[in-house]
């Protein structure tokens, strides 16, 4: 159809051009006119094939397609001029010029009609779901083109918001730029906006936080384009939009990896991960699988979670990596030693632990058995079989611990630091803040409360915590394993702490509600909770970063005879005595650290 249409329009352009200058060309007979028409027609189709004009989908016509069309029409006119000169020793310049302009107008117009019709129909179909695009730069125009062309996201763009004042009151791709951020609320009300799409891939996190606060006041549904790093890594496509997530508002960039160093420490080796069915352990397995280890041992206590993770990893990486599943309790010393002898892992990531603060306050003996004795079992088994690197996943609650969970984590750090004095294995610990999305974190709890209609319960309006995502936490563990030289504590620079109440408000807004619809109630601080968390004691901090966003702390061994005595006797102690002796051991460590003994 396009071939036939072009044939008609080329011949029409010759006729129109000849009509303009009929008096000047009266001495040319019909044969000359026929030669000009035939040469123009043939050369046009040859050029059209050269520039792939008959292979293009013209409903998506853009600048590139129109430039190719101009090149083809111009080259066709030049070829016709050459033929005229060869036949008549002259060139009918005025005829060819008019024909060139007519072809450009008619053929170019025919290409644009299909796109105009598609976009017009698309706007009518989606008129009930109107979108305001924030960002009239390359990201915003790319998004608008996708929305107008594909029409598969259920929304129609109606206007831009951009802080560049030179664009105000102008139109881009047929849409007006109605103003800057101060115009968001008036635009939503005046234009009856249902969706706001933040289309600035280069936006920094603190800028996104401020912009999000402006948008959420409108009541519209807020979406966002992926960041440039997500596009470059291939995790998101440029035209994709998604809901704003709590992770987007954390206030820092994710930690990056030294992939060459990690690859050297993992490729072709045997890796064992305890707690591999948990949120952190399973993500560690996912990420190290991409570095081509020889095999990964998935060790966990829960059979369902281990089965689920194994099925996922085997489907994704089964051709490159051998996966082994082992159901075991880290408190079972004999079983742990047997498994270590069986696999002789080069690297151990110890993620298995009891982490729930209030539950461990009520069950201190279980916290000691799992977090201290279990860690001692795994660490000594790793030492026995000659493991190269052992990485303990600790917690920010191990700093000046105010609860049993934090105290047992601090105790576990001291256990591996003392073992590191006499072992060839490089022992290291990694301290995390709270992990968004992990089992037991506040995000799933808040989401369930929102689904039930509220209220969302927060312990105290001033309570703050450090937060990181599961992938960030896992990257830090892997990077620590690659950087470990023995007896070190690694800590991520996690930016500023986040108020829990602000996190709750953001999650309510992200779920499409207001704090009037889903109220927030304050329940009071629970036993063992601190108002503020710390990542390092003041006497532990090395100010310099050993890797971007990663600090290293000073290892404190503790009073080893006191630690040994506690581990030997804890099972015979009452709950009150156990708690007292546990914190006495930690306090002796604090005194040792204050005295500068490391």
Give me the active site residues, please. Answer: 397
Q: How far apart are CA 46 and CA 62, in angstroms?
A: 22
Q: How far apart are the first and last CA of the chain?
A: 83
**DSSP per-residue string spanning 369-404:** IIIIIHHHHHHHHHHHTT-SEEEEE--GGGSS--SH
Chain centroid offset of residue 432 CA: 19
Q: Which two tokens stand for residue 131?
A: 């979108």
The closest of 534, 583, 557, 423 to 488, measured between CA atoms, is 557
Sign of the CA dihedral with 586 first, then 587, 589, and 594 last:
positive
How many H helices and E strands in the chain? 21, 22
Contact 409, 397 (CB under 8 A): yes
**DSSP per-residue string spanning 192-237:** T--EEEE--TT--HHHHHHHHHHHHTTTPEEEEPPPHHHHHHTSS-
**DSSP per-residue string spanning 259-316:** HHHHHHHHTT-EEEEETTTSHHHHHHHHHHHTT--SEEEEEES-HHHHHHHHHHHHHH
Indicate the pairing of strand 221-224 with strand 242-243. antiparallel
Residue 23: partners with Cβ closer than 8 Å, 6 or more residues away:
none
Q: How far apart are CA 430 and CA 284, in angstroms?
A: 13
Q: How far apart are CA 343 and CA 130, in angstroms?
A: 59
Q: How far apart are CA 471 and CA 478, in angstroms?
A: 11
Contact 427, 416 (CB under 8 A): yes
Q: How far apart are CA 333 and CA 336, in angstroms?
A: 5
Phi, psi of 452 (to 5 degrees): -85, 0
Spell out the SS3 assignment of 104-162. HHHHHHHHHHHHHHHHHHHHHHCCCCEEEEECCCHHHHHHHHHHHHHCCCCCEEEEEEC
Q: Which two tokens stand for residue 532?
A: 């503020």
Residue 586: partners with Cβ closer than 8 Å, 6 or more residues away:
401, 407, 410, 411
Which of 550-583 are b and which e, b meaning 16 or more Cβ less than 10 Å from the residue's Cβ? bbbbbbbbbbeebbeebbeebeebeeeebbebbb
Helices 442-451 & 500-510 angle (0-180, nearest 10): 50
Contact 565, 582 (CB under 8 A): no
């Amino acid at each position: 159809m396009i071939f036939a249409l072009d044939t008609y329009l080329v011949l029409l352009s010759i006729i129109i051009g000849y009509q303009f200058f009929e008096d000047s060309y009266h001495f040319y007979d019909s044969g000359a006119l026929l030669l000009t028409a035939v040469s123009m027609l043939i050369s046009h189709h040859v050029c059209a094939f050269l520039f792939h004009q008959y292979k293009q989908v013209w409903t998506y016509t853009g600048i590139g397609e129109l430039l190719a069309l101009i090149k083809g029409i111009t080259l066709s006119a030049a070829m016709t001029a050459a033929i005229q000169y060869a036949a008549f020793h002259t060139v009918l310049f005025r005829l060819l010029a008019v024909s060139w302009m007519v072809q450009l107008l008619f053929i170019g117009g025919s290409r644009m009609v299909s796109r105009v019709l598609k976009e017009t129909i698309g706007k009518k179909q989606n008129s009930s779901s109107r979108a305001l695009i924030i960002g009239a730069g390359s990201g915003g125009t790319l998004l608008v083109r996708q929305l107008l062309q594909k029409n598969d996201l259920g929304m129609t763009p109606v206007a831009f918001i951009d802080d560049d004042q030179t664009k105000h009151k102008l139109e881009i791709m047929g849409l007006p730029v109605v103003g800057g951020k101060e115009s968001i609320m008036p635009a939503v009300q005046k234009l009856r906006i249902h969706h706001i799409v933040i289309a600035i891939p280069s936006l920094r996190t603190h800028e996104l936080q401020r912009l999000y606060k402006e948008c959420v006041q409108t009541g519209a549904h807020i979406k966002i384009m992926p960041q440039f790093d997500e596009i470059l890594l291939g995790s998101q496509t440029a035209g994709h939009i998604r809901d704003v997530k709590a992770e987007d508002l954390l206030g820092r960039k994710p930690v990056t990896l030294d992939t060459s160093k990690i690859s050297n420490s993992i490729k072709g080796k045997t890796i064992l991960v305890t707690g591999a069915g948990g949120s952190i352990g399973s993500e560690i397995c996912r990420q190290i699988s991409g570095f081509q280890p020889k095999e990964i041992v998935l060790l966990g206590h829960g059979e369902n979670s281990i089965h689920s993770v194994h099925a996922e990893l085997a489907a994704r990486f089964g051709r490159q990596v051998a996966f082994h599943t082992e159901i075991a309790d880290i408190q079972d010393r004999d079983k742990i030693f047997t498994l270590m002898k069986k696999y002789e892992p080069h690297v151990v990531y110890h993620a298995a632990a009891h982490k729930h603060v209030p539950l461990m306050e009520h069950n201190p003996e279980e916290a000691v058995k799992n977090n201290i004795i279990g860690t001692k079992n795994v660490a000594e088994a790793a030492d026995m079989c000659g493991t190269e690197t052992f990485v303990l996943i600790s917690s920010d609650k191990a700093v000046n611990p105010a609860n049993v969970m934090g105290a047992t984590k601090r105790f576990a750090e001291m256990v591996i630091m003392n073992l590191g004095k006499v072992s060839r294995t490089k022992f290291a610990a990694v301290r995390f803040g709270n992990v968004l999305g992990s089992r037991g974190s506040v995000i799933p709890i808040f989401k369930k409360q929102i689904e039930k209609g509220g209220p969302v319960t927060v312990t105290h309006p001033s309570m703050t915590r450090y937060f990181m995502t599961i992938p960030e936490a896992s990257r830090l563990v892997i990077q620590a394993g690659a950087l470990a030289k023995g007896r070190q504590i690694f800590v991520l620079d996690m930016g500023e702490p986040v108020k829990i109440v602000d996190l709750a408000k953001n999650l309510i807004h992200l779920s499409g509600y207001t704090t009037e619809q889903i109220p927030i109630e304050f329940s009071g601080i629970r036993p063992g909770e601190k108002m503020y968390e710390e990542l390092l004691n003041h006497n532990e901090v090395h100010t310099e970063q050993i890797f971007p966003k990663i600090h290293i702390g000073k290892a404190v061994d503790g009073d080893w005879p006191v630690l040994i005595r506690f581990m030997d006797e804890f099972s015979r102690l009452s709950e009150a005595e156990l708690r007292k002796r546990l914190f006495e051991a930690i306090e002796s460590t604090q005194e040792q650290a204050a005295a500068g003994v490391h």
